[in-house]
């Protein structure tokens, strides 16, 4: 049985990847962090699975990583663990670098020392394109990071490439554009919109308060994106790939589609921080702008060119934005009702 080692199993992508690897017959060694409250909600259904073994670990602890890789000797390593919130990285830049940048170095170093035949996947990001130099962005587009998170991830991207070239390791960067799901963290914009709008609709919250609603992203469905991670490690040669839908939409557009799912027709009034989004029929204010959610430096637009992945991996996104909104709104109406004890 092949062995996989996955950091960040408690996160959105980690939970989908563990499910995929189980399906493919792997023994999956996942890392979790000790927390003062339970943080395993996304993988609770997998905890007792015979193919799953969980280990306490942290990307800031190299002795722990060395021991784990020396004893597990995995065939594949997926480095998904990260302080992954862009806005938070401005508040904890040094910690973000410790986890996202040098954490990747620690893991690569452990692999080089204890299981150099393993294959390595690095969770690189479209945030590295930042202030974009061309549209759409492909594997050859120059980078221009705009946050401590993106700068840290750029180090991780290059150290992965450097270990591949220096030590002949099988190490790949998946440059993934934003991908969302019903398991997305609630502080990322799509999930914030779907949960908060569900709460507004049910009378549990007044409005949804957002920052820059004119930012544009290439949003795909996370469950499909983990398949691309696995495919990258099944090729003859290691390489880097952009994974994206090839379509770009604004946060404003995401709000309109989510509101429409609930039967509202969102219209906009005012501008800047005084702009509001109102339901045209009832006049109810659904969206307000809140300066707290603006970032010191913004990534205005990201649009991926996934043609290399389609050509070489046979991977293509299937879920479009409308279907993504359906999946998330449908799930969040259920989740929010359950949390509020609303029985139908």
The yes or no reply on residue 146 touching ligand NAP (CB under 6 A) is no
The yes or no reply on residue 259 touching ligand GDD (CB under 6 A) is no
CA 308, CA 314: separation in Å to the nearest integer? 9
Closest approach of Cβ 344 to ligand GDD, in Å?
29
The residues pairing with 120 across neighbouring beta strands, listed in sequence order, are 77, 171
Q: 13 or 279, CB closer to ligand NAP?
A: 13
The yes or no reply on residue 99 touching ligand NAP (CB under 6 A) is yes
For this structure, is 129 an active site residue?
Answer: no
CA 133, CA 105: separation in Å to the nearest integer? 27
Residue nearest to ligand NAP (CB): 11
CA 55, CA 33: separation in Å to the nearest integer? 8
The yes or no reply on residue 51 touching ligand GDD (CB under 6 A) is no
CA 79, CA 334: separation in Å to the nearest integer? 32
The yes or no reply on residue 14 touching ligand NAP (CB under 6 A) is yes
The yes or no reply on residue 12 touching ligand NAP (CB under 6 A) is yes
For this structure, is 149 an active site residue?
Answer: yes
Three-class DSSP category at 209: strand
The pair of three-digit structure tokens given for residue 19, joined into one six-digit string: 């499910």
Asked if 12 and 37 count as a contact pair (C-beta separation under 8 A), the reply is no
For ligand NAP, what does the binding mask look like between residues 47 and 86, x meaning CB under 6 A?
-----------xxx-------------------xxxxx--
Out of 19, 27, 76, 127, pick the active-site residue.
127
Out of 149, 170, 221, 264, pick the active-site residue.
149
For ligand GDD, what does the binding mask look like between residues 279 and 318, x meaning CB under 6 A?
--------------x-x--xx--x----------------
H or E stretch at 310: helix 307-313
Asked if 11 and 42 count as a contact pair (C-beta separation under 8 A), the reply is yes
The pair of three-digit structure tokens given for residue 340, joined into one six-digit string: 């509020």
Q: Cβ neighbours of residue 215 under 8 Å, at least 6 residues apart?
A: 189, 250, 251, 298, 299, 300, 301
Q: Which of 20, 88, 215, 335 binds ligand GDD (CB under 6 A)?
A: 215
Asked if 120 and 169 count as a contact pair (C-beta separation under 8 A), the reply is yes
Q: Cβ neighbours of residue 41 under 8 Å, at least 6 residues apart?
A: none
Among residue numbers 174 through 233, which ones bind ligand NAP (CB under 6 A)? Answer: 176, 178-179, 185
CA angle 303, 223, 205 (to 5 degrees): 80
Three-class DSSP category at 194: helix
Closest approach of Cβ 340 to ligand GDD, in Å?
22
C-alpha separations of 72 from 40, 94, 102 in Å: 22, 30, 22
Residue 267 CB neighbour total at 10 angstroms: 14
293 contact, one of ligand NAP, ligand GDD, none, CB 5-8 Å limit per kind: ligand GDD
Q: 127 or 279, CB closer to ligand GDD?
A: 127
Closest approach of Cβ 68 to ligand NAP, in Å?
12
The count of C-alpha atoms lying within 13 angstroms of the C-alpha of 42, restricted to the half-sphere facing its C-beta, is 22
210 contact, one of ligand NAP, ligand GDD, none, CB 5-8 Å limit per kind: ligand GDD
For ligand GDD, what does the binding mask look like between residues 123 and 162, x meaning CB under 6 A?
--xxx-----------------------------------
List contacts with ligand GDD (CB under 6 A): 84, 86-87, 125-127, 177-178, 187-189, 192, 210-213, 215, 217, 251, 293, 295, 298-299, 302
- Chain contacts with ligand NAP (rule: CB under 6 A): 7-8, 10-14, 31, 33, 35, 39, 58-60, 80-84, 99, 123, 125, 176, 178-179, 185
Residues classed as catalytic: 125, 127, 149
């Amino acid at each position: 049985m092949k062995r996989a080692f996955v950091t960040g199993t408690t996160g959105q992508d980690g939970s989908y990847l563990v499910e995929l690897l189980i399906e493919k017959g792997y023994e999956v060694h996942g890392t979790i962090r000790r927390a003062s409250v339970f943080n395993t909600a996304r993988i609770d259904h997998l905890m007792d699975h015979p193919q799953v073994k969980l280990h306490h670990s942290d990307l800031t602890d190299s002795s722990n990583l060395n021991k784990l890789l020396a004893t597990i000797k995995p065939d594949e390593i997926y480095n998904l663990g990260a302080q992954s919130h862009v806005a938070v990285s401005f508040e904890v830049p040094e910690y973000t670098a410790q986890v996202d940048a040098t954490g990747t170095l620690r893991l690569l170093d452990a692999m080089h020392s204890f299981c150099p035949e393993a294959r390595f996947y690095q969770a690189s990001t479209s945030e590295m394109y930042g202030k974009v130099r061309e549209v759409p962005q492909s594997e050859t587009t120059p980078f221009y990071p705009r946050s401590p998170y993106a700068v840290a991830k750029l180090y991780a991207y290059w150290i992965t490439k450097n270990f591949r070239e220096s030590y002949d390791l099988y190490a790949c960067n998946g440059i993934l554009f934003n991908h969302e799901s019903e398991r997305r963290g609630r502080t990322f914009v799509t999930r914030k919109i779907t949960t908060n709008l569900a709460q507004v609709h049910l009378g549990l919250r007044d409005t949804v308060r957002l920052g820059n609603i004119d930012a544009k992203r290439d949003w795909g469905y996370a469950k499909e994106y983990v398949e691309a991670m696995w495919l990258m490690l099944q090729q003859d040669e290691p390489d880097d790939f952009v994974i994206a839908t090839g379509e770009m939409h604004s946060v404003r557009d995401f709000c309109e589609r989510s509101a429409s799912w609930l039967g509202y027709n969102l219209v906009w009034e005012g501008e800047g921080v005084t702009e509001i989004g109102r339901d045209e029929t009832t006049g109810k204010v659904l969206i307000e702008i809140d300066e707290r959610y603006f970032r010191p430096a913004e990534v205005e637009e990201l649009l991926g060119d996934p043609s290399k992945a389609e050509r070489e991996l046979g991977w293509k996104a299937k879920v479009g934005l409308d279907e993504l909104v359906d999946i998330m709104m449908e799930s969040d109406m259920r989740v929010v009702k359950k949390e509020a004890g609303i029985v139908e």
